[in-house]
Amino acid sequence: MERDYDVTVIGSGIGGLCAGALLAKRGYRTLLVESLDRWGGRLSTVEKDGYKLPTGAILLHRDGPLENIYREVGADFEVVNLPKTLHCRIEGKDYQMKLNNPLTLLKVISDLEISGGKLARLGGSLAAEIGKKKIQQTLGKGTKNPFARGARLNFREWLMQYTDNEVLHKIFDAIIVAVLVCHSWELPASEFFSYMTALGALADAGIAPRGNVELIQGLVEAIKENGDAWLSSPVRQIMVRKGEAQGIVVEKEGRDVTVISKVVISDTGPKRTVDLAGSDNFSRKYLREIRMRLRAGPAMLVLAASDAPLLPENAHFMVISGARRLVCAGDIALLCPDLAPRGKHLSYYCGYPLNSLVPMEVEWEKTQCQRDLEEHFPDITKHGEILHMGVHDVDSDFPGARAWPGYDMPPETSIKNLYNIGEGVRATGWSGTNKAATTAREVADMVAKTLDRC
Ligand SMILES: Cc1cc2nc3c(=O)[nH]c(=O)nc-3n(C[C@H](O)[C@H](O)[C@H](O)COP(=O)(O)OP(=O)(O)OC[C@H]3O[C@@H](n4cnc5c(N)ncnc54)[C@H](O)[C@@H]3O)c2cc1C
């Protein structure tokens, strides 16, 4: 059996859905294929005992690249905003802080009273430095090429220039790990400042009140308006002839279907794309770049059900600094009661190993997370039940992040008309779902130009 489309998109992660919806909306016949029996990859929902469990992403930013794509394709971005209060647990002590703008976090750190106020002064001078010209200087050197000379400091080294206070280092590390999915000693400093600058332009963060899988349905519908979207259809091969992508071979209902298309877009991550197209078809330079550059970030996601709140009062979202592995937590049913059975709570806890370079020792990491949970949220043993402990390791199909910021790949491959999108692709300043959306828009624009020339 053979089918014909302008574009095929492999994978229905949020990157694939955004690219597919944009291209279908712009008039190109689009096919999106997904190997699983649900849409969304790491932005999806799995139902268990009446709870709607996220498969990865939980917090979504408003008014950023992702919501803009929803607007453009006419889909409803139903997200309930978190209150503008951030709960921070630092070395076991709790702080509630108002966060009018994400950048005020730096100011907030400066206001903390830790170590008898000593840290407050350190934090204050650091925030002032960051707030004035240091960001711009580092950005100027580092945004275009984080590997450029002079932009090579990692964030921990950058901070060391101002302070060796380990409490402060741990706070920054917890924030970096929670949002950029690698440690402060693994992240090029310039990437942190690019992220903070982009974040400063964003409005509130929120949660999809009926679950992620409901939120993404509008994008699936947008694709279907000018194409097709198939579930349970794993792509077996990207067809390449004379250095050019020609289409895909996909398994549908037990049969191989050949799909001819002018362009192939892969949301499976650059490494999987190479497997699907065959490494012999790529240039040695491209393969070397993937080998040398791409570094995934690991994560553990714990989801717990309970009769009573497990987090401190009104802690919709909290950052934890000074724990073994846990760096953030939140009670999502507090804000979005439809995610849990009536009267129940659904809380999440994110943990990270100390090293993002090599695969985890899974049982050891789980034990460390468990110890953190019992110490920081002791009611979990009385009122709680762990519904899910997800290991998103660096070598898994669904890592915490497909690439550390600055260690990601360009969207173009060395094969003509074959592009990568999603979180493994470079989009300076963005992380998570906004990063995937940014790469989707960039590739959709490039593909539209190519197709218009055909
Ligand atoms: C624990 C955790 C917490 C996170 N928290 C947040 C958060 O709070 N906020 C945020 O913005 N981001 C968060 N993220 C990151 C966010 O989930 C991702 O950035 C985003 O979902 C990336 O999507 P993607 O487009 O890269 O594709 P992915 O979600 O990786 O999806 C790829 C898709 O391709 C499919 N596929 C693979 N191979 C094939 C094949 N051969 N044929 C067909 N289909 C195939 C897969 O089944 C999958 O559906 C979190 C991630 C994790 C793991």
- Please check whether residues 308 and 380 belong to one and the same domain: yes
- Please check whether residues 408 and 291 belong to one and the same domain: yes
For residue 86, tell me if it sits in a domain.
Answer: no
- Please check whether residues 234 and 247 belong to one and the same domain: yes
Nearest-CA residue for atom 52 of ligand 1: 56
- Please check whether residues 291 and 410 belong to one and the same domain: yes
For residue 151, tell me if it sits in a domain.
Answer: yes
Condensed to tens digits (0 to 9), the pLDDT of residues 193-221 reads 888 777 765 568 899 999 999 999 999 99
- Please check whether residues 48 and 137 belong to one and the same domain: no
Spell out the SS3 assignment of 181-219: CCCCCCCEHHHHHHHHHHHHCCCCEEECCCCHHHHHHHH
Q: Give 41 Cα–ligand 1 centroid separation in angstroms.
A: 5
Q: Give 69 Cα–ligand 1 centroid separation in angstroms.
A: 17
Q: Find the DSSP H helices in 95-163.
A: 104-111, 118-129, 135-142, 155-160
The number of domains in the chain is 3
* Structure confidence at residue 376 (pLDDT): 96
Beta strands in 298-406 (DSSP E): 299-306, 318-321, 326-331, 345-351, 384-392
Low-confidence residues of the chain, pLDDT below 50?
Answer: 132-135, 137-150
Is 59 near ligand 1, meaning CB less than 6 Å away?
yes
Q: Give 394 Cα–ligand 1 centroid separation in angstroms.
A: 13
In what helix (H) or strand (E) does residue 97 lie, and over which residues does it extend?
strand 93-98
> Cα separation of 315 and 317, whole Å?
5
> Which atom of ligand 1 is least distant from the CA of 392?
53
- Write down the pTM of the prediction: 0.93
Q: What share of the chain is helix, strand, coil (3-state, %, to 5)?
A: 40, 25, 35
> Cα separation of 235 and 10, whole Å?
7
For residue 93, tell me if it sits in a domain.
Answer: no
Is 248 near ligand 1, meaning CB less than 6 Å away?
no
> Cα separation of 66 and 400, whole Å?
19
Condensed to tens digits (0 to 9), the pLDDT of residues 279-323 reads 999 999 999 999 999 999 999 999 999 999 999 987 888 999 999
* Structure confidence at residue 196 (pLDDT): 79
For residue 184, tell me if it sits in a domain.
Answer: yes
Domain stops at, among 357, 392, 427: 392
Q: Specify the amino acid at residue 215.
A: L
For residue 97, tell me if it sits in a domain.
Answer: no
CATH number of the domain that residue 17 is part of: 3.50.50.60
Mutation test of ligand 1: which of 18, 33, 39, 42 has the most ligand atoms closer than 8 Å to its C-beta? 42
For residue 189, tell me if it sits in a domain.
Answer: yes
* Structure confidence at residue 105 (pLDDT): 64
Is 61 near ligand 1, meaning CB less than 6 Å away?
no
Closest CA to 388 of 350, 343, 342: 350
Q: Give 112 Cα–ligand 1 centroid separation in angstroms.
A: 35
CB-based contacts of 387, cutoff 8 Å, min separation 6: 48, 49, 51, 53, 303, 304, 305
For residue 84, tell me if it sits in a domain.
Answer: no
- Please check whether residues 290 and 321 belong to one and the same domain: no
- Domain coverage including residue 147: 103-200
Condensed to tens digits (0 to 9), the pLDDT of residues 135-160 reads 454 444 444 444 444 457 999 998 88
Is 341 near ligand 1, meaning CB less than 6 Å away?
no
Q: Give 14 Cα–ligand 1 centroid separation in angstroms.
A: 7
